[in-house]
Amino acid sequence: GAHTIGQTDCAFVRYRLYNFTATGNADPSISPAFLPQLRALCPPNGDPARRVALDRDGAESFDAAFFKNVRDGNAALESDQRLWGDGATQGVVQKYAGNIRGLFGLRFTYEFPKAMVSLGGVAVKTGRQGEIRRRCSRFN
């Protein structure tokens, strides 16, 4: 759910738009209505560093819209879209996407902070064993 805010580079999206799994076609899990929008942002020979919102409906709003986008085939990242295609995670996506606007969003805003606190208990590598990346996609 953290991808309800933020952006990624076209470099991480483009392969889904033009030659997914070397078929010459787009990723079939992308909504036909969303595909032209992504292609407009990330043309075949465009700037690979161009930014794409992770949440189609508002990359600056922390809400459950991300899950609705995943359910509807509107996820920019393949890893996010696979949450809907996997039986182990589809129910979680549906729970947060909901059917009634706002009802499940309230649950998400309650449960997400609890998950972050839980992750805080994971042993963090420090010193020479770990690093804080300046860019998530690259080692320092």
Residue 86 labelled as part of a binding site = no
Reported in sequence order, the residue ranges of 2-140 that DSSP labels E, i.e. its strands, are 7-9, 51-53
| Cα separation, 136 vs 44, whole angstroms | 23
Check whether 63 is labelled as a binding-site residue: yes
SS3 135: coil
Contacts of 5 (CB under 8 A, 6+ apart): 54, 55, 59, 60, 61, 62
Measured distance CA(107)–CA(117) in Å, rounded: 16
55 is in an annotated binding site: yes
Q: Is there a binding annotation on residue 4? A: yes
Q: Which residues are annotated as a binding site for Ca(2+)?
A: 4, 55, 63
Q: Which residues are annotated as a binding site?
A: 3-4, 55, 63
Q: Which residues are annotated as a binding site for heme b?
A: 3
